[in-house]
A and B are shown apart, each in its own frame.
Chain A
Amino acid sequence: MIYILQVIILGLCLGLVYALMATGLTLIFGVMRIVNLAHPIFILCGAYVAYWLFVLYGLDPILAIPIAAIVCGVLGAIVYKLVFEKDAGSQKYSEMTVLLTFGTAMILDGTLSFFFKNTQRVTSPSYATDAFFIGDIFLPTAQLYSGLVSLSLIVALALFLKFSTLGVAIRATSLSRVNAELVGINVKFVCLFSFILGCALAGCAGSLVSFVFSFFPAKHFEWIAVLMSLVVLGGMGSILGAVTAAIVLSVLASLVGAFLAPSWSTMVFFLALFVILLIRPQGMFGKYLS
């Protein structure tokens, strides 16, 4: 019983990190209708920023979050200006845009691989190998911290979307682009802003990921499918859905990992993706994709 509880708690912590990884993706989809396959590579960029800051200057990955966010945000702005601005707003291009994001992911992947090679890296702040016990339950500090930071960032994002003017504009655009334009929202700016915000969130997630998982440039292909499963299961564009899906699937994955074999655990995400496409293509909370 304790064992099961233990596994669930570890899954929960990881789930929160996955949730943060997925929120940026679902935000970008909600506003721009772009399935951003380049999202995981932005996460990796954030992870590399945190890694080098830690290695060169000894900066704690959690404190590196703002820097990683800014770097990824700027990178996102550049990518948006170069690649997506031309098409932003039209609806017919969805498939081509997915391939565009895929091409972008390959460009960034190639650049990262060229500079950093396919070496597995992980930041190791002092707490990375620490753990403490609550009763009989074992809590690795790294997982706990990353889970808590993710949770607070997600809550901050939710509050921002709920109460700030810009947040309302983002939600309005995501509900209906045309109507948002009619009531005087600068949709172009909202698109640019949410793309940057999504990439910045990827950067935040990246610095947390840097001490939770080991990473190398080609890792993002695996994350694409994992994150997509969360976003599709939650319903594209729904942040609450993505967070719920992340927590549920991550707990399931750790149960599978604990009772079957660790290498089977990611299977949960991919199978969930298939099953959800089969039963309810619009996801738990979401809208239709096509």
Chain B
Amino acid sequence: MTNSKYLVPLLALLMLTMFPLVQFFSNQNYIIHLLLYAFFYIIMTSSWNIIGGYGGFISIGHNAFLCVGAYVAGYAAVRYGISPFYLIGLSGLVAGIFGFIVGLITLRVKGPSFIISSIALIMIMRIVFDHWDLVGGASGITLPFNSLPVQWSKLPHYYSFLFLALAAIYLNWYVRHSKFGLALRAVSHDETRSAVAGINVKMIKVTAFALSAFLIGSAGAVWADYLTYIRPNMFLVILIAANIVLMVILGGKGTVTGPIVGTVIFILFNEIILTFFGATELNILLTGLLLVITLLYFPDGIVGSLKNKNILPKFLDWG
């Protein structure tokens, strides 16, 4: 029994690593796109979970960091001709520093005020980026295409996202089980008491926020290269952040595997809807409906609810 805890994730990882081999036989770019899209969202949900799940600071503006990461990489790629893949770390770093500064301001407030401030953050960034001529203003930046043949062209992004997703999941697990994470969860319960217990409340909060911004920013660099075209209204819309929040809550916030489960289920759900109903506005409606139903009936999410009933499969039980 204890083995299945490691066996299933390792098998899954092995299969995901080997999956692009199918390209030798037939072109499965659609599935590869779907998988890398899932990895991309897993990076975002897992990072969001650090501050939103463990820290209890629900941000509906985390796509701001995605935007920062994408623009750092995009600007450098166009201006200096550096491939965004070399800039993953730098994009993450810039997004992390940006997150640190924003966190210093917005993490002073808790609860609803914080949620509102996170919405204001994307609104402000939207106006700034729409007017910032250096990075193309509202019309954005066009990045160069990569020169790989079509069946291999998605693979750099696939493996980068896979790697980043693993890093995000590991970080999530680490935060859950480290002293830092313990402090973070203490802060989310009661800031005053945590401060009395000797926790540097402000630093803990802001560091967690910067960490999640760092990972999302790194993902932004790859995402910019994948899309080959970035402009403010692709990143700075509330719907992306709403999806992140929904995925985490659906899976179970404050758990290691919750964000992964939520992301996978949501992306499958979304893809089924797209197949049967087409891309209509009903998508927004169904996303909202799913959010409301989850919040009303399973506020602990899938992983959380299963855990409460003690029927969580071993391989999902990572804390």
Complex CA distance for A197 and B105, rounded to whole angstroms? 34
- Asked whether A290 and B113 contact (CB < 8 A) given A106-B291, A110-B283, A264-B131, the answer is yes
- Residue interface bits A164-205, CB-to-B below 8 A is 1, else 0: 000000000000000000000000000000000000000000
- A5 partner residues in chain B, CB cutoff 8 A: none
Residues of A within 8 A of B121 (CB): 274
Q: List chain B residues, Cβ under 8 A from A113.
A: 281, 284
Residue total for A at the interface (Cβ-Cβ under 8 A): 45
Residue pairs across A and B with Cβ atoms less than 8 A apart, 30 shown, are A35-B112, A94-B111, A96-B299, A98-B111, A99-B245, A99-B291, A100-B292, A100-B295, A103-B291, A106-B284, A106-B291, A110-B282, A110-B285, A114-B285, A224-B119, A225-B120, A229-B120, A261-B131, A263-B127, A263-B130, A266-B123, A270-B124, A271-B124, A274-B117, A277-B113, A278-B108, A281-B113, A289-B109, A290-B109, A290-B113
Answer yes or no: B18 CB below 8 A from chain A CBs: no
A110 touches B288 (CB 8 A): yes
- List residues of B whose CB falls within 8 A of some A CB: 56, 58, 60, 105-106, 108-113, 115-117, 119-121, 123-124, 127, 130-131, 237-238, 242, 245, 249, 280-289, 291-292, 295-296, 299
The CA-CA distance from A35 to B130 in the complex, in Å, is 29
Which residue in chain B gives the minimum CB-CB distance to A231?
B116
Q: Are A278 and B123 in contact (CB under 8 A)?
A: no
Question: Which A residues between 223 and 281 are near B, CB-CB below 8 angstroms?
Answer: 224-225, 228-229, 232, 236, 261, 263-264, 266-267, 270-271, 273-274, 277-278, 281
Report the Cα distance A132→B289, complex, angstroms. 48
Contacts of B110 in A (CB 8 A): 289-290
A95 near B: Cβ within 8 Å? yes
- Closest-CB distance, A265 to chain B (whole angstroms): 10
Please name all residues of chain A whose beta carbon is closer than 8 Å to the beta carbon of B288 when the two chains form the complex. Answer: 102-110
Check: A222 CB closer than 8 A to any chain B CB.
yes
Residues of B within 8 A of A222 (CB): 123
B299: chain A residues within 8 A (beta carbon): 96
Q: A98-B58, A277-B113, A290-B111 are in contact. Are A267 and B284 (CB under 8 A)?
A: no
Contacts of A277 in B (CB 8 A): 105-106, 108-109, 113, 117
B-contacting residues of A (Cβ < 8 Å)?
35, 83, 86, 94-96, 98-100, 102-111, 113-114, 117, 217, 221-222, 224-225, 228-229, 232, 236, 261, 263-264, 266-267, 270-271, 273-274, 277-278, 281, 289-290
When C-beta atoms are compared, the residue in chain B nearest to A105 turns out to be B288
CA distance A287 to B58 in the complex (A): 21
Contact across chains for B123 and A107 when beta carbons are under 8 A apart: no
Chain B residues contacting A105 (CB-CB under 8 Å) are: 288
Contact B285 A270 (CB under 8 A): no
Docked-complex contact A103 and B289, CB < 8 angstroms: yes
**B123 and A225 contact, CB distance less than 8 A:** yes
Residue of B nearest to A266 (CB): B127
Query: Residue among B58, B112, B285, B286 with the most chain A CB within 10 A?
Result: B112
Cβ-defined contact, A228 with B284, below 8 A? no
* Residue on B nearest A217 in the bound complex, by CB: B281
- CB closest residue in chain B, given A220: B238
Q: Which residues of A contact B286 (CB under 8 A)?
A: 110
Say yes or no: B119 contacts A225, CB within 8 Å: yes
C-alpha gap A221/B305 in the complex (Å): 32
* Besides the known contacts A106-B291, A289-B113, 10 further A-B residue pairs in the complex with CB atoms under 8 A apart: A99-B295, A100-B291, A100-B296, A108-B288, A225-B119, A274-B105, A281-B109, A290-B110, A290-B111, A290-B113
Give the residues in chain B near A267, CB-CB below 8 Å: 124, 127
Residues in B whose Cβ lies below 8 Å from that of A270: 120, 123-124, 127
- Closest residue of chain B to A224 (Cβ to Cβ) is B119
Are A232 and B113 in contact, CB atoms less than 8 angstroms apart? Answer: yes
A95-B109 contact, Cβ under 8 Å, with A102-B60, A107-B288, A270-B124:
no
Q: In the complex, which residues of chain B have a beta carbon less than 8 angstroms from the beta carbon of A94? A: 111-112
Task: Give, as a whole number of angstroms, the nearest-CB distance from B111 to chain A.
Answer: 4
Q: Which residues of B contact A271 (CB under 8 A)?
A: 124
A147–B296 Cα distance when bound, in Å, is 39
